[in-house]
Amino acid sequence: MAEKNNKVLKKNSNPWLEAWRRLLKSKIGVAGMAIIVLLLLVAIFAPMLAPYDPYEQNILSRYKSPSAQHILGTDEMGRDILSRIIYGSRISLQVGLFAVLMALVIGVGLGLIAGYYGGKLDMIIMRFMDIMLAFPSILLAIGIVAILGPQLKNAMLAIGIINIPRFARIIRSSIISIKESEYISAAKALGAGDARIIFKHLLPNAMAPLIVQTTLSIATAILEAAALSFLGLGAQPPSPEWGAMLSDARSSLQKAPWVATFPGLAIIFGVLGFNLLGDGLRDALDPKMKNV
Amino acid sequence: MINYIIKRLLALIPILIGVAVIVFLIVHLIPGDPAQTMLGERATDAALARLREQMGLNDPLYIQFWRYIKDLLRGDMGRSIMSNNPVITELQARFPATLELSFFAIIFAVGVGVPAGIFASINQNSWFDNLSMVIALMGVSMPIFWLGLMFIWLFAVQLGWFPPSSRLGVGIDFTPITNLYVVDSIIQLNFTALVDILHHLVLPAIALGTIPMAIIARMTRSSMLEVLRKDYIRTAFAKGLQRKVVIFKHALKNALVPIITVVGLQFGVLLGGAVMTETIFSWPGLGKYLVDAIYARDFPVVQGGILFFATVFVLVNLIVDLSYALVDPRIQYE
Amino acid sequence: MKKIILTTFILLVLMSVVVTGAMAQQQGGTLVFGRGGDSVGLDPIQVTDGESFKVTQQIYDTLVDYTPGTTEVEPALATDWEVSDDGLTWTFHLREGVQFHDGTPFNAEAVKFNFDRWRLEDNPYHIGGEFTYYSYMFQGFPGIIQEVNVVDDYTIEFVLSEKQAPFLNNLAMVPFGIASPTAVKKYGEDYFKHPVGTGAYVLDEWRQGDRVILKANENYWRERAYLDEIVFRSIPDNSARFMELQSGTIDMMDGVSPEDVESVNSNDQLQLSLRPSMNVGYFAMNFNFEPFDNVKVRKAFNYAIDKQAIIDAFYAGLAEPAKNPMPPSIWGYNDDIEAYDYNPEKAKELLTEAGYEDGFEFDLWYLPVPRPYIPQGKFIAQAIQSYLSDIGVTANLVTYDWSTYLDKTEHQEAPTYMLGWTGDNGDPDNFLYVLLDKTNSNNAYVSEELHDILVEAQKTMDHEKRVELYNQAQEIIHEDAPWVPLVHSTPPIALKSNVKNYIPNPTGTEKLHRVWLEN
């Protein structure tokens, strides 16, 4: 309601622009954006930033502690950890983005169908989502990867799948809440087709929660990918995926704690960026949205 | 209310049937089978064929499915292929370990998260507010297995304050009854064991509880802030009521519904999410066991275990829903 | 050099065994053995995993046994035996006056009961599992053991349908521990939780998933065990287990990760014991995939990998580079074979000769789980990958979970893969035939010549003749180079320094009744 009033009052101002301004004013949002931009820059300019080839191993100098030569030390294969973390940013960002993109497309599609058409279709789709939500998600992901084989792309797929229900639910509830509203009825009366109503009217209205959920989901997707890789089900060696870098660190915890420490910090940093941005966006897009 | 509960319970049935079907499909779609894991490197064709025949794995899938559903309806989850124990026995032995761990994790999460959230909300924008919210944000952004590793490195390896793994030290005389070790040691008045058990619980419970703690702290804070802005609270303050009374009696009570929701949901998530913690701390719980069972293709265990987990999870959610009514009489169920 | 150090080390260990053996043993005490997992079951014939055998070996005895630390066969429940000239009838004379833990007398009837239970599918007690090792060693049910006859109370006779040269060695294997007929009948399907044998230890309590507690058998037919009690504790993670050892809550552990070997050696509270090697870790190339059908490519790979460097980095030096598919500890090992040394130049030449001077790309499958022969498959695979890239070949690393990995390699789906083998019974047949005969090989290696030799050796009872045949077999394999044999590892076991007289067996598990604790 508030937004409608705003529209009437300031005809020229675009609500998205408004939100963007609010975002720029929020410390949290700006910090999140800064981290993400930094990560993107690191990912793009990795070859220039990394002091060593992240794959070059030297099994005679394994587990070297941090020094001027190797700022973050070397790992179990004698590789430079800093260079691997730098290159790893590429993988983690990709995994987060693609997995969530997949969940977004499928989840939104299912949610739209369920919410818009209702009836049996709605019941079947949402029951299926309930079933998926009843699974412990990490076990579901492990099962899916076990079927497809442990590879990064399969882990990405599994993470995408377990995130579908959340998107479907958001879209569905937002659509149901406005489906019966006057202006949708008006659009229907004017002869607008289903597609037009969905893409012109319903989807834009669900945009705010969707953007927030997407940002926060990228954060969890990065964590989930790291967990799967840690269990040996994601990125395969010699890939410098952050979670995979941790997977063998346990056996060297006594001898070389830095092998476990730094990739973990990298994960926190990256995930924090998306969480901060998500928070900032939530405040900016709709100050009244619930913080769950 | 009773009708509502019955309705909700009935609605769970199709969901659980769906879970059962999907679990069956997943475990049978994975290549390899228990015969393979049992024989290991010794899996020659002939040996495998013999073993599969004996295990009934050569039957067509629909026959195996029919057998599984029929047994399930009779309440029989079958026997574990690896251990030959009834699946129900395995669940009874392992689930209490997960439950105990999750319970202490949630105690930690609530015990730290709620006070921190309240304190932050009444001192909005103070250094404490900012600091605790930064910590909370870090908490949600942290891979739990990494936190576990760091805990082990710092508190077990470097400082030696806490044991790095398992539920009970060697040489402690203790007989489990319910497999909830804390409960068992208390009813047996075995305090040496109790101390040791709690000592083992500290690191994994804190590691597991950190993410929920962060979420609960944030939720408490924002929900308190919202209530504190409400007119009746302002009025209460204006009327000169004591600050403590207003905050704890009026504000907190109203902020409680969303907090309970989050706590309940987190508890459900914890039960399933204990997998990583159990892996890191060699905790003999159900999560880790099910992962191993997936790898070993122990079909009956995976099917029974996940179905059990799902049941617990949906029941916890139901209880959370119902508990709203207790906190907030305005909510009515029809 | 490394080899010399290793040999010296083994000698020192053996000497210390002799020296401590001469010291006054002390009676009593509890030994806590930390290990990677719980036993699956305690009925040895129903299980296949080392964690189960580790315990059942204490509870049960077999007809014949391996002399500690070797795979030589010595009397146990059978005092002596003879075999007919045609090699088909074996007669065993049994030890008198032996009792099972439940008081049931041990005699020929008991032995027959056990064998009938194992081999006859219609036997009422052929329940509770798959009897995997029986069908595996004796080829199905009833398999080659056609008849089991009670001659008198303490004499039993086995009639075989075909000759089996390693028959005696097979009977010494842990799965063939003799169980009390009374207990088997009493517990039926649940017997695996209530094991009753004749061994040095009696099951006191088994807390599944956590620990197995054994108590000394006061009426053991050998000398009573020194230790009063053994506790086997499961601590799945290698490093967590090692921390427990360091903090003193366990007395010994196996599965020491190579990263921790150094800390054992530098800690005077701890000692390291090495299990004599009876295994091989290898890298196999599948003949169905180009270019691995080309022997020059396979030989090039053999020259390309620096095994010693791998051993230094990932085995803490505790392994021997392999040149044959079977370990030198087994008789019949052909030491005259000249190993393919580490020589990248030669490897490149061979690739060029084969027409692959520009290299090629392929999938390299690595082990998803730690095995005694390859404790860190992921690391070693990456090292191999890097060696191969030095000769211009690109390897993509692939893995699956263990069950799938075995399934797919078994179906020859892997272009190249890492795998290994731990010997069952100390017979060369158990390596060469099982791994490389055309009926068994997982990498589509088919050599008729090899097949003929291996089958002939199975049917030959004359030892010298068998040695000769196996020597020939190894030459053929060396020339065909179906694998890169990587290592024979000596898996390390870490113990507190007050644990005395522990002698690890090459077979992977051993009896602990001669182990004692110094106060």
In chain C, domain spans: 61-180, 201-275+492-517, 279-489
Number of domains observed in the structure of chain A: 1
Q: What is the pLDDT of residue A290?
A: 43
What confidence tier does A74 reach under pLDDT thresholds 50, 70, 90? very high
Does A5 reside within a domain? no
- C-alpha to C-alpha distance for B48 and B44, rounded to whole angstroms: 6
Residue window 136-195, chain A: list those with CB within 8 Å of chain B: 136-140, 142-144, 146-147
Mean model confidence pLDDT for chain A: 87
- Mean pLDDT, consecutive 10-residue stretches, chain B (334 aa), reads 84 89 88 78 74 78 86 85 84 91 94 92 87 90 91 88 83 82 92 93 94 91 85 78 77 80 80 82 87 86 89 85 70 55
Which chain C residues are Cβ-neighbours of B294 within 8 angstroms?
Answer: 401
Which chain B residues are Cβ-neighbours of A231 within 8 angstroms?
Answer: 279, 291
Whether residue A119 lies within 8 A of chain B, CB to CB, comes out as no
Is a pLDDT exceeding 90 seen at residue C191?
yes
| DSSP tag of C415 | S
Give me the percent of chain A exceeding a pLDDT of 70: 93
Whether residue C237 lies within 8 A of chain A, CB to CB, comes out as yes
Q: What is the pLDDT of residue B327?
A: 67
Residue numbers of the domain that contains A159: 25-47+72-287
- C-alpha to C-alpha distance for B126 and B131, rounded to whole angstroms: 9
Whether residue C461 lies within 8 A of chain A, CB to CB, comes out as no
Which of A152, A248, A254, A258 would you mutate first to test chain C, the one with the most C CBs within 10 A?
A254
Q: How far is CA C79 from CA A189, C63, C68, C75, C426, in A?
A: 100, 8, 17, 5, 21
pTM (2 d.p.): 0.85
Phi and psi at B164, nearest 5°, equal -80, -15
Q: What is the pLDDT of residue C424?
A: 84
Q: What is the pLDDT of residue C125?
A: 95
Phi and psi at C385, nearest 5°, equal -55, -40
CATH superfamily placement of domain C279-489: Dipeptide-binding Protein; Domain 3 (3.10.105.10)
Does A2 reside within a domain? no
CATH of segment(s) C201-275+492-517: 3.40.190.10
Is a pLDDT exceeding 70 seen at residue C6?
no
Nearest to C493 by CA among C292, C306, C192, C250: C250
Does A107 reside within a domain? yes
Q: How far is B173 from chain A (nearest CA, A)?
A: 30
Q: How far is C410 from chain A (nearest CA, A)?
A: 16
Residue of C nearest to A146 (CA): C401
| B47/C132 CB distance under 8 A | yes
Does A175 reside within a domain? yes
Residue type, C14: L
Whether residue C390 lies within 8 A of chain A, CB to CB, comes out as no
Does A8 reside within a domain? no
| Whether A34 contacts A48, CB under 8 Å | no
| Whether C399 contacts A150, CB under 8 Å | yes
Where exactly are the structural domains of chain B?
34-76, 88-327
What confidence tier does A1 reach under pLDDT thresholds 50, 70, 90? very low
| ipTM metric | 0.86
- C-alpha to C-alpha distance for A189 and B157, rounded to whole angstroms: 72
| C410/B39 CB distance under 8 A | no
Is a pLDDT exceeding 60 seen at residue C428?
yes
| A57/C379 CB distance under 8 A | no
Residue window 111-150, chain B: list those with CB within 8 Å of chain C: none
Q: How many CB atoms lie within 10 A of CB C27?
A: 12
Does A4 reside within a domain? no
Q: How far is CA C202 from CA B5, B294, C59, C228, C231, in A?
A: 53, 33, 6, 11, 12
Residue B149 is nearest to which of A136, A250, A291, comparing CB atoms? A250
Q: What is the pLDDT of residue A195?
A: 82
- C-alpha to C-alpha distance for B283 and C38, rounded to whole angstroms: 13
- C-alpha to C-alpha distance for C24 and C29, rounded to whole angstroms: 15
Is a pLDDT exceeding 50 seen at residue C255?
yes
| DSSP tag of A256 | -
Chains touching A (3+ CB pairs < 8 Å): B, C
Give me the percent of chain C exceeding a pLDDT of 70: 96
| Whether C56 contacts C44, CB under 8 Å | yes
Report cis status (omega within 30 of 0) of the bond before B86. no
A-B Cβ pairs (cutoff 8 Å, strict): 130
Min mean pLDDT across A84-93, B43-52, C46-55 is at B43-52
What confidence tier does A238 reach under pLDDT thresholds 50, 70, 90? very high
Chains touching B (3+ CB pairs < 8 Å): A, C
What pLDDT digit, counting tens, does each position of C140-189 carry?
889 999 999 999 999 999 999 999 989 999 999 999 999 999 999 999 98
Q: What is the pLDDT of residue C504?
A: 94
Q: How far is A272 from chain B (nearest CA, A)?
A: 5
Number of residues that this document lists for chain A? 292
Q: Report residue C184 as tokens.
A: 């088997």
Number of residues that this document lists for chain C? 519
Which chain C residues are Cβ-neighbours of B40 within 8 angstroms?
Answer: 48-49, 406
Residue window 237-276, chain A: list those with CB within 8 Å of chain B: 243, 246, 249-250, 253-254, 257, 260-261, 264, 267-268, 271-272, 275-276
Q: What is the pLDDT of residue C124?
A: 94
| A134/B19 CB distance under 8 A | yes
Residue B140 is nearest to which of A253, A254, A275, comparing CB atoms? A275
More confident residue, A125 or A16: A125
| DSSP tag of A139 | H
Q: How far is C259 from chain A (nearest CA, A)?
A: 6
Whether residue C267 lies within 8 A of chain A, CB to CB, comes out as no
Residue of C nearest to B92 (CA): C208
Which chain A residues are Cβ-neighbours of C404 within 8 angstroms?
Answer: 146, 149
Q: Which residues 6+ apart lie within 8 Å of B178 measured at CB?
A: B96, B184
Q: How many CB atoms lie within 10 A of CB B130?
A: 14
What confidence tier does C339 reach under pLDDT thresholds 50, 70, 90? very high
Q: What is the pLDDT of residue A8?
A: 45
Q: What is the pLDDT of residue C11?
A: 59
- C-alpha to C-alpha distance for C132 and C126, rounded to whole angstroms: 12
Q: What is the pLDDT of residue C107?
A: 97
Nearest to C31 by CA among C228, C240, C205: C228
Residue A130 is nearest to which of B15, B262, B306, comparing CB atoms? B15
- C-alpha to C-alpha distance for C81 and C78, rounded to whole angstroms: 7
CATH architecture of B88-327: Orthogonal Bundle (1.10)
Q: What is the pLDDT of residue B177?
A: 86
Whether residue B170 lies within 8 A of chain C, CB to CB, comes out as yes
What CATH number should be reported for the domain holding residue A236?
Answer: 1.10.3720.10
Which chain B residues are Cβ-neighbours of C411 within 8 angstroms?
Answer: none
Considering the four listed CATH numbers 3.30.43.10, 3.40.50.1100, 3.40.50.300, 3.90.76.10, the one that applies to the domain covering C61-180 is: 3.90.76.10
Does A95 reside within a domain? yes
